[in-house]
Amino acid sequence: MKYGRFGGQYVPPELKGKLQEIKKEFKEAKKDKKFLEEYQYYLKQYVGRPSPLYFAKNLTEKVGGAKIYLKREDLNHTGAHKINNAIGQILLAKRMNKTHVIAETGAGQHGVATATVCSLFNMKCTIFMGKEDARRQQVNVERMKMLGAEVVEVTRGEQVLKDAVDEAFEYLLKHDDVFYLIGSAVGPSPYPEMVEYFQKVIGQEAKKQILKQEKHLPKAIIACVGGGSNSIGLFHDFLYDLDVDIYGVEAAGKGLETGLHSSAFYMNKVGILHGMKTYIMQENGKVKDAYSISAGLDYPGVGPEHAYLKDIGRVKYDSVTDDEAVEAFKTLTRLEGIIPALESSHAIAYAMKIAKKYKKEDSIIVNLSGRGDKDLNTILNLL
């Protein structure tokens, strides 16, 4: 599938056959009532959906302006939105009679979600994780191992998410028995559309919940963007509601002017990365190293649908620095008793910036994509 000029399959010929097999199975699964019922069963009874839409009264009063609602994906089993997609793809792998699942992870939340569902369905699990990310997210590394996964620490490149994806694709090319469970809305087709399909439950629920609580649609919705799975999940059901402003928030790191950031849109270069055409961080024809305090946003590209949504002007993409994200992390923790992931803290920070643009009777929804237990060592070292 292509999104305008973005997306596609830019992969070696030997990988195309495997992708076509997955695409065919996914297309059939979407029409299979039994598959869909099983997916919904696990979302409700195992993940704990629907996740609440919480009115952050204290944060709203501090910031002023529109009411700030939080879509509480941090309350899902495993502590983030990643489990929605992991459940969907593991059921697809099971349908394809695969017994070995591989995955990449940055912040560790997708790795934990994948290890969790592999444990649930008794499948062999191998997680590729950059050595630097493994150092930053040691708690999640131990959780994956406890769940029975083999964690392969990747030492190539900057030893972060991009390098873990490279390693996973190389492994996939060499092994016929594996299913690659990609965690973000990136990669060659059909992965971006699969991830969106399994994450769109976030936006579907949020729309129903806000209509019930406020009797009208929100004025704005906000989510952080690395590869872009939590954001495309929230955005999906609101894309044709043109009165709703949509904001995607990338990681500005130490500041866009320093070069130490993860904003593919700021770089404004289109290229090929991990089998897709999209906006990437690129200099002199080479992929530039990304940086963010948040391991989950430390990625030099963005999902192809996000690239398309930027080009057509439906979504406004902006960025938030490390310092702003950390301040939002502390603010939400102290005001609401909710410890957010550093990824989600970027979206919280942006909501705090723009809430005053709107009236007090208006509402905005922020996707709280994950909880911050995994980031406590990073925060403690800063403090």
Active-site annotation, residues = 82, 104, 369
pTM: 0.96
Positive or negative, the CA dihedral 291, 11, 144, 130 is: negative
Closest CA to 169 of 118, 107, 104: 104
Q: Which residue reads 């083999």 in tokens? A: 150
Q: What is the pLDDT of residue 326?
A: 98
Please provide the size of the chain in residues. Answer: 383
Strands 124-130 and 220-224: unpaired
Structure tokens at 89: 């793809």
**So what's the architecture of 48-79+200-382 in CATH?**
3-Layer(aba) Sandwich (3.40)
In angstroms and rounded to an integer, the radius of gyration of the C-alpha atoms of the chain is 19
Q: What is the pLDDT of residue 185?
A: 97
Q: Which residues of the chain carry a pLDDT beneath 70?
A: none
Strands 124-130 and 100-105: parallel
Instruction: Give the C-alpha separation, 187 to 222, whole Å.
Output: 23
Instruction: Give the C-alpha separation, 76 to 83, whole Å.
Output: 8
Closest CA to 175 of 99, 123, 91, 96: 99
Q: What is the pLDDT of residue 131?
A: 94
Instruction: Give the C-alpha separation, 242 to 73, whole Å.
Output: 25
Domain boundaries, the chain: 2-43+82-195, 48-79+200-382
Q: What is the pLDDT of residue 161?
A: 87
| Secondary structure class of 156 (helix, strand, coil) | coil
Q: What is the pLDDT of residue 136?
A: 85
CA 36 to chain centre: 22
Do the beta carbons of residue 132 and residue 141 sit within 8 Å?
no
Do the beta carbons of residue 363 and residue 67 sit within 8 Å?
yes
**Alpha helices, H only, the chain:** 13-29, 33-42, 57-63, 82-95, 109-120, 131-136, 138-146, 161-174, 191-199, 201-214, 229-235, 264-267, 304-311, 322-336, 342-354, 376-382
265 phi/psi in degrees, rounded to 5: -70, -35
Instruction: Give the C-alpha separation, 163 to 151, whole Å.
Output: 14
Q: What is the pLDDT of residue 295?
A: 87
Closest CA to 7 of 199, 274, 230: 274
Class of domain 2-43+82-195: alpha beta
> Distance of CA 208 to CAs 80, 211, 335, Å?
20, 5, 26
Kindly report, residue by residue over 147-205, the tens digit of the pLDDT.
Answer: 999 999 999 988 988 899 999 999 999 998 899 999 999 999 999 999 999 999 999 99
Q: Which residue reads 């509601």 in tokens? A: 241
Task: Give the Cα-Cα-Cα angle 234, 94, 36 (nearest 5 degrees).
Answer: 45
